Chains A and B, each alone.
Chain A
């Protein structure tokens, strides 16, 4: 097997693993007993989508996809931070209601 064929196989097997991981994480996102569990699952979905985008960049040879991956990581960090603040605010609002 040449190097290029090995890389192609590794990309497809890696995509299979990542899709399985995404399905498992979406299960936790739907099931998650509390809100922080769902936020955590969303954060992991963003990281896994970043890995998928990088694999697509290697498969197709369009290295511009790497910029999309970096932007996705940035958006994921911002959204997790905002949702963590929302968890805090929601708890404060509930405490004032009581």
Chain B
């Protein structure tokens, strides 16, 4: 069975994770540029969902659930940077965003 400490820890993890998710959404709405919005969504979003997944790993007494939750965290942490990089690269090549400085970044190559 789950002890009281586990339940309190899971509650704290859930609150922190959902707060991080809310911060990611606020960043996506409030920030001015595609790249800055991507910075908010792909970092704070992963931490938010990861903390909630960690909470279910803490609260469940089953080892299979713990394994699945940790697998989900690993999968999320591996795939989100890749998809964010792909999207930023596609947007830069499609000239949907301006390069930050003409001298340092050339979108043509």
Contacts and interface: CB of A to CB of B under 8 A. Distances in A.
Q: Do A and B come from the same complex?
A: yes
B41 A36 contact: no
A58 B28 contact: no
B8 A3 contact: yes
Contacts of A44: 24-25, 28, 41, 45
Interface residues of B, number: 60
Name the prevailing secondary structure of the A interface residues: helix
Interface in A4-28: 4, 6-7, 9-11, 13-15, 17-18, 20-22, 24-25, 27-28
Interface of A: 2-4, 6-7, 9-11, 13-15, 17-18, 20-22, 24-25, 27-28, 34-37, 39-41, 43-44, 47-48, 50-51, 54-55, 57-58, 63, 66-67, 69-70, 73-74, 77, 80-81, 83-85, 87-88, 90-91
